[in-house]
Amino acid sequence: MRWQDLNREVAAKLAGNHALADQRPFIFVDSRQQQLHCIDIEADNNRSYPVSTAKNGMGNRLDSHKTPFGIHQIRQKVGGGQPIGAVFEGRQPTGRIASDLDNREQDEITTRILWLDGLEEGVNRGGVYDTYSRYIYIHGTSDEKRIGEPVSGGCIRMRNVDVIELFDEVLLNDLVVIR
């Protein structure tokens, strides 16, 4: 896939809000490849990271435990300045640090959180399809050994060092395209 083609497709879907697609780099999550790409159409410094999407596959319905597809934006950034491995509950640091990064028993949210908000009404925004009210994040995990496998409960998991790098680069309202 050519990034320019994806960028044009996103701009067309955002009809009237082209600034979102043109001004900043965007994130593309490829669920088939279990990869997150940070894309800057104008620069040659694009980066890719392995991720884990949902064990239940792709879908936007509430309580599906699936990773939502479509065009999203980063609505909130949580955890800046927290130590690597910091465990969050309800988007608040618990004071615990995940020491076991092969923790398959829990889907712990660690290090940083990028809370996503859907931009496509009836697809990932509103009603039983609302990504934001489903609490879908890009976040660190204490289950790093399974990064690259679809094992999450719906969110997009990243290695802790990778989510810090991404968190420090992105801004609120940056676009996230998930397929």
Q: Write out pLDDT tens, residues 39-87.
A: 886 766 789 999 999 999 999 999 999 999 999 999 999 999 999 999 9
Q: Which domain holds residue 117?
A: 3-178
- Whether 22 has a pLDDT exceeding 70, the answer reads no
Instruction: Classify 112 as helix, strand or coil.
Output: strand
The answer to whether 163 and 78 are in contact (CB under 8 A) is no
Here the CATH number for the domain that contains residue 31 is 2.40.440.10
Q: What is the predicted pLDDT for the residue at 21? A: 54
Average pLDDT, the chain: 90
Largest separation between any pair of C-alpha atoms in the chain? 47
- 27-31, 99-103, 141-145: which has the minimum mean pLDDT? 99-103
The count of structural domains within the chain is: 1
